[in-house]
Amino acid sequence: MEISTLATYHCLAFIWYFFVAYSIIDIRTEERPSEVFLYGGQWKYLTVLNLVLQAVFYGVSFLADALRLIKKLRCAKCIISSRDLLFSVLAFPVSTFVCISFWTLYSYNRELVYPKSLDRVIPFWLNHAMHTAVLPFALLEILALPHRYPAKRKGLILLGFVAFLYISWVLWIYSVTGEWVYPLFALFSPPGLAAFFAGSLAVIVSFYNFGEFLNRMIWGQSKF
């Protein structure tokens, strides 16, 4: 794909994610269901954090494209390395995890992840923008251009560290409020919850490997 076309695509994707993230963050306090938006507000939800992550990723991608267009190749090389690391370790596996895990649990029992009270304040289109569109965007990014993946050990350590930070945030919120971020967690005993977190980590690692596989099959193998 031509650099100018990539720049246009990444710019539009950045604007889209910025708009979606702003739309969910800008929900007025008086409209928020009290049983959902407690301590931590929207920032306790992986879905919202993923929107910010995607906006950052596409912003970095657009910057890399712009630097290439104006022939600032030395600066572009550094930004491209950051872009590829961000996509491979976080942007692709997290967006895939958000989409598949959300709709799987929603189909089973929506009250476990997305209580019906949210329908009053979150429009239908915004729900799908947060939980559905993220996966096609991630797949389109793989098809649009090659991304260099880090060495497997490095990539998994970084992914595991970020997962550890989010789990720590979830546990901290529970310790402060006595309420779980997602009602699903209340169904588990402590050992069961630990097993659930471990299983979720295994799933997101599989999505990391899947993204690397797709990238290699389409573009060939290239590592840092």
Query: In this structure, are residues 208 and 92 in contact, taking their beta carbons and an 8 Å threshold?
Result: yes
Gap between the Cα atoms of 62 and 145, Å rounded: 13
Gap between the Cα atoms of 80 and 83, Å rounded: 5
Query: In this structure, are residues 208 and 155 in contact, taking their beta carbons and an 8 Å threshold?
Result: yes
pLDDT in tens, 141-200: 999 999 999 999 999 999 999 999 999 999 999 998 888 989 899 999 999 999 999 999
pLDDT in tens, 34-58: 555 567 778 899 999 999 999 999 9
Residue span of the structural domain in which 49 resides: 3-25+42-219
Gap between the Cα atoms of 191 and 216, Å rounded: 37
pLDDT in tens, 78-119: 899 999 999 999 999 999 999 999 999 999 999 888 888 888
Q: What angle do CA 102, 97, 163 make, to 5 degrees?
A: 115
Using a 10 angstrom Cβ sphere, with 0-12 exposed, 13-18 middle and 19 or more buried, the burial of residue 110 is middle
Domain presence at residue 33:
no
Across the chain, what does the average pLDDT equal?
Answer: 90
pLDDT in tens, 23-38: 988 776 555 555 555 6
pLDDT at 15 over 90: yes
Number of domains into which the chain is organized: 1
Band of the pLDDT at 77, cuts 50, 70, 90?
confident
Give residues with Cβ within 8 angstroms of 162, minimum separation 6. 89, 90
What pTM did the predictor assign?
A: 0.91
> What values do phi and psi take at 149, rounded to 5?
-90, 145
